[in-house]
Amino acid sequence: MPVTVETPTEKWAGKVREITLGATAAEGGTRTSTVTVGGEGTMPFLHFEGETPHRPVVAIEIYDIAPQDWSPILMDYWGDVVNDVVAWAKKAVELGADAIALTLRGAHPEVNDRSPEDSARVVKDVLAAVGVPLIVYGPGAPDKDNEVLVAVAEATAGERLALGLCEQNNYRTIAAACMGSGHIAVARAPIDVNIQKQLNILISDMGLPLDRILMDPTTGALGYGLEYTYSVMERLRLAALQGDAMTQQPMICTAGHEAWRAKESKVGEGVPEAWGDWKERGIAWETVTATSLIEAGADILVMRHPEAVAIVKKTIDQLVAK
Amino acid sequence: MDTRLPSGNGQVREARRCAVVFKPSGRVIEVPAGTLLLDAARQAGVSIETPCGGYGRCGRCRVLVESGDVARRDTYHLTADEVAQGHALACQTQVQGSLTVFVEPREAISRRYRPQEEARAAQIALPLDGSFICQPSLRKLHVAVEGPSMEDNTNDFDRLGRDLVREYGVPRLRADLPVLRTLAADVRSANWDVTAVVDDEEPQLPQQWEEEMGETGVHMEGPTRLLAVEPGDTTGRALGVAVDIGTTTVVVYLVNTANAQVLDTASAYNAQISCGDDVISRIIYSQRGDGLNHLRKLVTDTINGLLDELAKRNGIELRDIYEMSVAGNTTMTHLFLGLNPKYVREAPYIPTVNLPPAVLAADLGIPIHPQARVKCAPGVGSYVGGDITAGVLSSGMFRTDKLTLFIDVGTNGEIVLGNKEWLITCACSAGPAFEGGGVKDGMRAIPGAVQEVWINSETLEPTCRTIGDLPPQGICGSGLLGALAEMFISGIIDKGGRMRRDLDTPRVRIANNIAEYVLVKAGEQGAKRDIVLTEADINNLLRAKGAIYAGFSVLVRSVGLTMADVEQVMIAGAFGQHIHIEKAIQIGLLPDMPWDRIKYVGNSSALGAYFALVCREARAALQAVARKMTYLELSADNSFMDEYTRALFLPHTDINEFPSVGRLLEQTRQKGTAAVKA
Amino acid sequence: MALTGLQIYKLLPKTNCKECGVPTCLAFAMKLATKSAELSACPYVTEEAKNELEAASAPPVRLVSIGADGRKIEVGNETVLYRHDKTFYHQPGLVVRVKDTQSADEIKAVADAVCGYCVERVGLSLNVDGVAIENASGDTSAFAKAIEVVGSNANVALVLMSSVPATLDTVMPMVADRRPLLYAADAGNWQAMAEVARKYKSPLAVKVDCGDLSALATLTEDITKAGVTDLMLDPGTRSMVDSLQAMTKIRRLALRKNFRPLGFPMISFPGEGASSPLEEVAAASQHIAKYGGVIVLDHFDPTLIYPLLTLRQNIYTDPQKPIQVKPDVYPIHEPDANSPLLITTNFSLTYFTVAGEVEASGVPAWLLIADSEGLSVLTAWAAGKFDAEKIKKAVQTSGILDKIAHKRLIIPGYVAGMSGEIEEELPGWEIRVGPREAVDLSSYLKSLRS
Ligand code: SF4
Ligand code: FES
């Protein structure tokens, strides 16, 4: 006896907010291309249920100085360009970056202690060299982050950069800087749905419009807490779809940074044979970390190895195909 | 006719002039229609108190519009009846025509708002529904016994017993040796006209309750014990004490069990505080050397000190007190009885005993009558003790059909959910913040404690009231709760509890690297020093309220219900004589529901101990309640952590759970916020 | 539909007699609701109540097992769509496919590799579960030979792939005792396939084309009626996006609508839609996260299998358990023998916050993580899981003593009260009290330095 199955579609009350990174000349910036993410009205890629108007994008991460602590696999791949941030940025775009994620590591007091003004200049140089949108991270020392990002924000007003990180205990300065110069704030919470939402509320209470806040749920790499990030992202997306206006921000994940910190990708010697080939493993580690996050609802992936980027972009092609 | 005020800055079309007469001063002013009544009063030189700054929050600017047209915004501070009578909030009302307005003199207002803290003991009354009949297990029975003779050579004890059965139906009389040793002399010196002091050993549970609650496992019958024989008829006064041993505070009620009247009460900090703020620290302390003994002595000393105070004040002898009814959490009960609480703390968290036996006062070093029994309320487990069964008892929730949520806000916050059919409970560590502990200028709810706070949203200036209107010395639970709510609503702190550092007010300052708000400056209201609330204090309060909100959220969900199913909420705790329900909702301590469903029941544990003292059915019910309660362990439960983080926000991460607060914030925002520093 | 604790309670005797091993009937009801107790533990439930409760607790996704004692794949019995709602219970089996057109040596190499592969991760050894043998040649004897090669040396679960029932009937006697999964019944062969499955009591995969779920449900209804109930579903989708949608629909229908015809675990073939091994890995990781039951891979390479096994372990970790990190010494910023030593608990959030703040401070330091069973500082302290003894044990057994030349330990500010006890447990040590909140660590550590 034939059975007819009805498609089990969920009716959602809300959707993810759309956010555009980068501004073209017409919009008051200098980008030749911009990136729009968000807008999803379904759990990831269930096209029978709701729209996925924009594909997830990949940003390639570069540093303003040659990284000291990156895996040799990465350093080998990039070669000399790591010494020249402008060349590095251009190469990354050639290799398929939809956006550049620039970490101003050189400004860290323990590294080169580069001044806020000089750091802002680096950002301007990169802006001049590439046409894609920019995500700019501070050096990772709270006070200096604030100084540097304020300088960057002012020097690049109107470019609609994404600036990070706004965290629970340090969000006001960066959010205010974004507010004044038309940038987007990256709000990072420590793998916690509630804290993420609270942070979004606090930032939006300051007056930064919600279409200028990205959520960074904090990425756990494969084998290092990936499942927590995965579930937090699913919960955030579900809440967004259920109409919770304060969780409807698109999500950005630092898959590259985390995956390449894992022992599996960082270390080649003295590890079990069952781990297989080092280089391939590193790339697979980043790939699986990134694709899993895409399945959980990531909108922007910040990645490091171009071969992993290529596979991830292909995966995205497959997933957005109707 | 009243017309609704347009929200926001309503446009007034015609600038009609209206004359406003203020009584009793008789001052008159002419203002354009649309003027706020409050502004009109100011222009007329009539002073109206505006603690909240004219935001419609405090309700203190209430006036009576005797005649004339006004337009008013809705307010929860006035009932429909009051509105019909013409009452209005001056800050929420526009002049629409010529008016006569009566402004109550200041003293009258403060009298109306004075909480009943002055009326202390008199407040405690038996529940009106008649659940508890005054039938104490401690009784004084007067008999005029026919003396012995050659014909009737029954021994003294049986002779007395025989009359007690005949006249009072006392079953199976028993006595301990010390009583018998003096019995012969006692009866004869009184010429056989004596009052027997007796105590029922086993509690009795009325048949009807038994049916309601199902099988309770509580025994029904038991012997009666003779405690003493007093000469003549002394039945008018049978003294007992009810004691609540809190982790932070100890409270003693002196009661005449003959008529259930509370004669006096006294309270003090539990002297064990010197060995740690919370139960865990005390347990740890008890494991060191003579720690257990020392803690036992400290709490006994505290109680004895209070007994002395009561005896002195009331001119009584301690020997005349024949029963002590105690309620305390499991750790406090263990320490009081000298039981080792070690395993209360360690998983799987097992107390020595849930239902301690009645103990001779003399054995515990309590100097009341040596035959007096000390009876502790039974507990459910390590983290839900006799204080909670006592609370459930006094709240009456174990006999109601209504789904009731009972919350005891203490150092350890305990929560009970249920009705007469079932009861489920959990405990969450809230910290002592609401009892004034762990807060820089926190204190107990005693005279001189700030118990009410309003903050003007524009000037950010506070208005404080203390218990007894004495010079402020610190802030008690209800004051902390109010201050937190006011600082939040007026925008001094953000939803995460962080103080805004860019506000243009000297009240917010940085001291020792921590931001603080000065609630009372030295000199204000006669204060000797500054009284402040620091960011760290706010964090502690947030954690306390977060733990409690999370606790009952998880509890409600654990049985598959939602907050909307809860029909009434009873809140207990050492906040003081009263708490502002609306403030408790504003900070997200209590669920956002109509206020009439929420009731503050004060120190329910002490009240329960009192009920058990004056009513033996109540003591039996305590046992039934303890057996019936199901304990839910929250620790190591992720859903609790999740709810807790959700609740660590003002009022809550999900504003949809607090619609009334959302509306209030919206209104406040529309009026604009306080000035920011240039 | 699952009943709530209160609904179950209403069906129990309500006498609180404690014989079921918990203090009250309500407590027992709540355990039943979370499926952590058996109804039979209460001797006093009435027959009616029993029937009602049993009907309500039938699993919406059938538990199906493949293989015998050696290595067994057990999948199904799932109760949630999202792991955060409870947990995913039965991790998917990962099997590697060989074809009977390959040489015996090739087949043997794969089977040996699969059988011998084992990798240790967080104290657990992770394995590949089985081998699928496909009758690609169409020839029964070649198929039998391939099965022999795999079956003789490998103690792994088997999937036999052939669309010809007679072929399966012929080879089954070789391995019937190992309860292989038969792949697959379809609209054309289902009667005969069901017959074979019934004969050998084997689980049977059911397959349709391109995600036609109505056809799939029709088939499973028919086959169940024919007496075979251990089924696995192949919706026939092969691209990532089609698989995701079909598999999500199947799981949703089973859980949300309690739709029995699709209440079975699923089998999938990530390699069939991929053009490179790495793409296969990407697809397979989707199937691990999104409802795969048996995942048939076309490549075996440790480099690629290891991430998948790790992902499977991650996704199937119980999210209700407190998140823990390994108790150990964590160096931050290359500390030396004189760098400060901090201790805290192994609740992951505690660890991440503390480690993050120390990292941000730029001060090189040793972070010692004590085993508090995943509880945060205050909770652990309250429960006696972060006391002086535990701290002593962490200091003495973690290996930190070989790494530092001083005896100064910084404890969290919240447990300042313990410093005396710790000094007693660790004679000669100086116990310093750090800040209560991690945020203040940075300035604290810097102040130590100056
Ligand atoms: S055994 Fe049955 S009746 Fe007894 S307590 Fe347990 S559930 Fe209740
Ligand atoms: S309500 Fe009118 S001043 Fe507060």
Residue B150 lies in a domain: yes
Q: Identify the domain containing residue B98 by its residue range.
A: 14-102
Answer yes or no: pTM beyond 0.90.
no
Confidence at residue A57, expressed as pLDDT on a 0 to 100 scale? 98
Q: Which residues of B touch A (CB under 8 A)?
A: 494-496, 642, 645-646, 648-649, 653-654
As given in the structure block, the two tokens for residue C110 are 């794969």
Neighbours of B128 (CB within 10 A): 6
- In this structure, the answer to whether residues B258 and B382 fall within a common structural domain is yes
Cβ distance C285 to A292 less than 8 Å, yes or no, reads yes
Q: Write the CA distances from C113 to B444, C105, C116, C120, C352, integer angstroms.
A: 72, 12, 5, 16, 38
- In this structure, the answer to whether residues B246 and B215 fall within a common structural domain is no
Q: pLDDT-derived band of residue B207, with 50, 70 and 90 as boundaries?
A: low
Contacts of B168 (CB under 8 A, 6+ apart): B139, B141
Cross-strand bridge partners of residue C64: C75
Q: pLDDT-derived band of residue C316, with 50, 70 and 90 as boundaries?
A: very high
**Please, is B223 exposed, middle or buried when counting C-beta atoms within 10 Å of its C-beta (0-12, 13-18, 19+)?**
middle
Q: Percentage of chain C surpassing pLDDT 70? A: 98
Confidence at residue B129, expressed as pLDDT on a 0 to 100 scale? 43
Distance CA B129, CA B132 (A): 8
Confidence at residue A79, expressed as pLDDT on a 0 to 100 scale? 96
Identify the domain boundary among B209, B231, B253: B231
Distance CA B421, CA B630 (A): 12
Cβ distance C24 to B345 less than 8 Å, yes or no, reads no
- In this structure, the answer to whether residues B272 and B353 fall within a common structural domain is yes
> Which candidate from A168, A194, A205 shows the least CB-CB separation from B653?
A194
A222-236 burial, b if ≥16 CB within 10 A, otherwise e?
bbbbbbbbbbbbbbb
Which is more confident, B500 or C359? Answer: B500
Q: pLDDT-derived band of residue B212, with 50, 70 and 90 as boundaries?
A: low
Q: Chain C residues with CB inside 8 Å of A260's CB? A: none
In which element (H, E) is residue C374 found?
A: none
Q: At what angle do helices A226-241 and C302-315 cross, to 10 degrees?
A: 60
C240 and chain A: CB distance < 8 Å anywhere?
A: yes
Q: Among C19, C24, C53, say which to mutate for ligand 1: greatest number of ligand atoms within 8 Å of CB.
A: C19
- Please state the φ and ψ torsions of residue B156, each to the nearest 5 degrees: -60, -45
**Rounded to 5, what percent of chain C is helix, strand, coil?**
45, 15, 35
Report the separation in Å between the CA atom of B344 and the middle of ligand 1, taken as the mean of its atom positions: 25
In which element (H, E) is residue C303 found?
A: helix C302-315
First to last CA, chain B: 45
- In this structure, the answer to whether residues B186 and B166 fall within a common structural domain is yes
Residue with tokens 């020839």: C139
Q: pLDDT-derived band of residue B467, with 50, 70 and 90 as boundaries?
A: confident
Q: Among C11, C20, C26, say which to mutate for ligand 1: greatest number of ligand atoms within 8 Å of CB.
A: C20
- In this structure, the answer to whether residues B244 and B178 fall within a common structural domain is no
Interface of A with C in 106-145 (CB under 8 A): 108-110, 140-142
Interval B19-72: pLDDT, tens: 999 988 888 999 998 898 999 998 888 888 777 777 777 777 889 999 998 888
- Mean of all residue pLDDT scores within chain B: 85
pLDDT exceeds cutoff 70 at A309: yes
The SS3 of residue A239 is helix
Residue B468 lies in a domain: no
Range in B326-335, B540-549, C68-77 the model is least confident about: C68-77
Interval C97-136: pLDDT, tens: 999 999 999 999 999 999 899 998 877 889 999 999 999 9
Confidence at residue A315, expressed as pLDDT on a 0 to 100 scale? 96
Say which ligand is closest to the CA of B56: 2
Report the pLDDT averaged over residues A280-309: 97
**Strand ranges in B395-530 using DSSP code E only, listed in sequence order:** 404-409, 412-418, 423-429, 449-455, 462-466, 474-475, 508-511, 514-520
Identify whether the C-beta of residue A155 lies closer than 8 Å to the C-beta of residue A179.
no
As given in the structure block, the two tokens for residue C100 are 């009977």
Distance CA A189, CA B546 (A): 19
Q: pLDDT-derived band of residue B12, with 50, 70 and 90 as boundaries?
A: very low
Range in C136-140, C252-256, C446-450 the model is least confident about: C446-450
* Assigned CATH for C329-449: 3.40.50.11600
Q: Quote ipTM for the complex.
A: 0.96
Q: Which atom of ligand 1 is found nearest the CA of C24?
A: 5
- Please state the φ and ψ torsions of residue B341, each to the nearest 5 degrees: -90, 10
Residue B490 lies in a domain: no
Q: Chain A residues with CB inside 8 Å of C235's CB? A: none
Confidence at residue B9, expressed as pLDDT on a 0 to 100 scale? 44
Interval C331-368: pLDDT, tens: 988 899 999 999 999 887 788 778 878 887 788 999 99
> Which candidate from A195, A197, A202 shows the least CB-CB separation from B494?
A202
Helices (H), B559-637: 581-586, 604-614, 616-628
Say which ligand is closest to the CA of B422: 1
Architecture of the domain defined by C64-315: Alpha-Beta Barrel (3.20)
B287 and chain C: CB distance < 8 Å anywhere?
A: no
pLDDT exceeds cutoff 70 at B412: yes
**Rounded to 5, what percent of chain A is helix, strand, coil?**
45, 15, 40
Cβ distance C320 to B638 less than 8 Å, yes or no, reads yes
- In this structure, the answer to whether residues B202 and B69 fall within a common structural domain is no
> Which candidate from A222, A235, A284 shows the least CB-CB separation from C314?
A222
> Which candidate from B280, B559, B627 shows the least CB-CB separation from C382?
B280
Q: pLDDT-derived band of residue B595, with 50, 70 and 90 as boundaries?
A: confident
Distance CA A290, CA A302 (A): 9
Report the separation in Å between the CA atom of B92 and the middle of ligand 2, taken as the mean of its atom positions: 8
Interval C46-78: pLDDT, tens: 888 888 887 777 778 999 999 887 678 999 999
Confidence at residue B359, expressed as pLDDT on a 0 to 100 scale? 93
Contacts of C116 (CB under 8 A, 6+ apart): none
Task: Looking at the complex, report in whole angstroms how far the Cα of residue C321 sits from the nearest Cα belonging to chain B.
Answer: 7
Interval B222-247: pLDDT, tens: 678 999 999 999 999 999 999 999 98
Residue B117 lies in a domain: no
Kindly report the CATH number assigned to the domain that includes residue B40.
3.10.20.30
Q: What lines the ligand 2 site, CB under 6 Å? A: B 50-52, 54, 56-61, 89, 91
- CB pairs < 8 Å spanning A and B: 26
Interval B416-437: pLDDT, tens: 999 988 999 998 877 778 877 7
Q: At what angle do helices B638-647 and A193-205 cross, to 10 degrees?
A: 10
Q: Where are the domains of chain A?
A: 40-320
Q: pLDDT-derived band of residue C303, with 50, 70 and 90 as boundaries?
A: very high
Identify whether the C-beta of residue B440 lies closer than 8 Å to the C-beta of residue B537.
yes
Helices (H), B106-247: 106-113, 156-168, 177-189, 207-213
Cβ distance B653 to A168 less than 8 Å, yes or no, reads no
Q: Chain B residues with CB inside 8 Å of C26's CB? A: 422, 424, 559, 630
C124 and chain A: CB distance < 8 Å anywhere?
A: no
Q: Chain A residues with CB inside 8 Å of B654's CB? A: 197, 244
- In this structure, the answer to whether residues B310 and B265 fall within a common structural domain is yes
Distance CA C304, CA B380 (A): 54
Q: Write the CA distances from C21 to A259, B379, B582, integer angstroms.
A: 47, 19, 43
Nearest protein CA to atom 6 of ligand 1, as residue: C20
Q: Write the CA distances from A311 to A125, A308, C352, integer angstroms.
A: 30, 5, 30
Nearest protein CA to atom 1 of ligand 2, as residue: B56
Q: Chain C residues with CB inside 8 Å of A315's CB? A: 240, 279, 282
Nearest protein CA to atom 2 of ligand 1, as residue: C42
Residue with tokens 């794949």: C73
CATH superfamily of C5-57: Electron transport complex subunit B, putative Fe-S cluster (1.10.15.40)
Q: What lines the ligand 1 site, CB under 6 Å? A: C 12-13, 15-20, 25, 28, 42, 44
From the centroid of its chain, how far is CA A46?
A: 23
Interval A110-136: pLDDT, tens: 889 999 999 999 999 999 999 999 999
Interval B331-390: pLDDT, tens: 999 999 999 999 988 878 889 999 999 999 999 999 999 999 999 999 998 888 999 999
A8 and chain C: CB distance < 8 Å anywhere?
A: yes
As given in the structure block, the two tokens for residue C254 are 């089973």
Q: Percentage of chain C surpassing pLDDT 90? A: 60
Q: Write the CA distances from B223 to B164, B173, B362, integer angstroms.
A: 13, 6, 21
Confidence at residue B106, expressed as pLDDT on a 0 to 100 scale? 65
- Write the single-letter amino acid at B60: R
Contacts of B158 (CB under 8 A, 6+ apart): none
Distance CA B535, CA B516 (A): 6
**Rounded to 5, what percent of chain B is helix, strand, coil?**
35, 25, 40
Q: pLDDT-derived band of residue B221, with 50, 70 and 90 as boundaries?
A: low
Taking CA atoms, what residue in A is nearest to C213? Answer: A5
Confidence at residue B636, expressed as pLDDT on a 0 to 100 scale? 54
Q: Which atom of ligand 1 is found nearest the CA of C19?
A: 1
CATH superfamily of A40-320: Dihydropteroate synthase-like (3.20.20.20)
Q: pLDDT-derived band of residue B635, with 50, 70 and 90 as boundaries?
A: low
**Please, is B563 exposed, middle or buried when counting C-beta atoms within 10 Å of its C-beta (0-12, 13-18, 19+)?**
middle
Q: What value, to the nearest 5°, has the Cα angle with vertex B493 and ends B491 and B495?
A: 95
Residue B334 lies in a domain: yes
Identify the domain boundary among B341, B357, B387: B387
C contact test, residue of B283, B559, B648 with most C CBs within 10 A: B559
Task: Looking at the complex, report in whole angstroms how far the Cα of residue A134 sits from the nearest Cα belonging to chain B.
Answer: 30
Range in A237-246, B233-242, B578-587, C83-92 the model is least confident about: B578-587
Q: Chain A residues with CB inside 8 Å of C442's CB? A: 142
A293-314 burial, b if ≥16 CB within 10 A, otherwise e?
bbbbbbbbbbbbbbbbbbbbbb
Identify the domain boundary among B371, B387, B403: B387
pLDDT exceeds cutoff 70 at A319: yes
Q: Chain A residues with CB inside 8 Å of C319's CB? A: 227-228, 231
Identify whether the C-beta of residue B383 lies closer than 8 Å to the C-beta of residue B351.
no
Interface of C with A in 136-165 (CB under 8 A): none
Confidence at residue B116, expressed as pLDDT on a 0 to 100 scale? 38
Q: Chain A residues with CB inside 8 Å of B672's CB? A: none
Distance CA B282, CA B334 (A): 11
- In this structure, the answer to whether residues B245 and B369 fall within a common structural domain is yes
Kindly report the CATH number assigned to the domain that includes residue B206.
3.10.20.880
C206 and chain A: CB distance < 8 Å anywhere?
A: no
Q: Percentage of chain B surpassing pLDDT 70? A: 88
As given in the structure block, the two tokens for residue C422 are 């710790």
Task: Looking at the complex, report in whole angstroms how far the Cα of residue B248 sits from the nearest Cα belonging to chain A.
Answer: 32
Distance CA C311, CA B619 (A): 58
Q: Among C16, C22, C32, C40, say which to mutate for ligand 1: greatest number of ligand atoms within 8 Å of CB.
A: C16
Q: Chain A residues with CB inside 8 Å of B494's CB? A: 202, 205
Confidence at residue B59, expressed as pLDDT on a 0 to 100 scale? 78
Distance CA A14, CA A238 (A): 9
Cβ distance C27 to B630 less than 8 Å, yes or no, reads yes
Helices (H), C80-162: 104-116, 140-153
From the centroid of its chain, how far is CA C325?
A: 18
- In this structure, the answer to whether residues B253 and B362 fall within a common structural domain is yes
**Please, is B138 exposed, middle or buried when counting C-beta atoms within 10 Å of its C-beta (0-12, 13-18, 19+)?**
buried
Distance CA B395, CA B404 (A): 10
A contact test, residue of B653, B657, B677 with most A CBs within 10 A: B653
Q: Percentage of chain B surpassing pLDDT 90? A: 48
Cross-strand bridge partners of residue B323: B240, B373
Report the separation in Å between the CA atom of B58 and the middle of ligand 2, taken as the mean of its atom positions: 5
CATH 1.10.15.40 placement within chain C: 5-57
Q: What value, to the nearest 5°, has the Cα angle with vertex A82 and ends A76 and A84?
A: 150
Cis peptide before B356 (omega within 30 of 0): no
Say which ligand is closest to the CA of B667: 2
Task: Looking at the complex, report in whole angstroms how far the Cα of residue C15 sits from the nearest Cα belonging to chain B.
Answer: 6
- In this structure, the answer to whether residues B95 and B156 fall within a common structural domain is no
For chain B, how many structural domains are there in total? Answer: 3
Distance CA B531, CA B448 (A): 12
